[in-house]
Amino acid sequence: MTRLKSDCLLFQTTCGEQIPCSAEWVTLELIGEAAGLAEPEVIRQAAAAVLHYFKSELHRNYVSVAEFAWELERALRGLGLSIFADSEPGGLRVQESNLPELIRNAGENCELFFFPHLRRELHRQLEESPRIVRFNGLRPCVKQLAGADRWSRRCELLGDQIVDYLRTCCQTDTRSQGCTLVVL
């Protein structure tokens, strides 16, 4: 049997096939665009931590992609990041929305029309009974609403207002029980 490189694991597909891959490469594939939101060294450290966990602590050379994704999410949260994997062992339902796209769909580029549209989108997502509701693109959304080219104090306040509004809407909706709200 061929020996695996020290930074690799065998990833088991749903078909039962085992494919050797670098833990760092799989990490970048799993978190996709969110990788640009964190320092590359933090992402490398998280991948190394998950690799160490499976190889050294559990003495495993193969894992499912879902298991790796779940442990990676935990490692990133431990490092202070809120980047979530799309699936956990046993299946995890994730509903996603793109905030800048919501502004375009609302038809008006102002806060007055944006917030009711945002609330309707959250309610639409909660109808699917997800475990995670994720809103992506907070910074570009805020800059677009504020009409700003650069991040400013006003942008920071508006971003906080959007997150607080989503939290409040989520807390008041009975369908959000057991659901995690993520805003990136």
Distance CA 181, CA 84 (A): 11
Q: What's the pTM?
A: 0.53
CB 167 within 8 A of CB 181: yes
Judging by DSSP bridges, how do beta strands 8-12 and 18-22 pair with one another? antiparallel
Residue type, 137: G
Q: pLDDT tens, position by position, for the chain (184 residues)?
A: 456 677 777 776 655 667 787 777 777 777 766 666 667 787 788 888 888 888 888 888 778 777 787 788 877 777 766 665 544 444 457 788 889 888 887 666 677 788 999 999 999 888 887 877 888 889 999 999 999 999 999 999 999 999 999 999 988 887 777 777 888 7
Helix (H, G, I), strand (E, B) or coil at 60: coil
Tokens of 74: 């935990």
CB 61 within 8 A of CB 10: yes
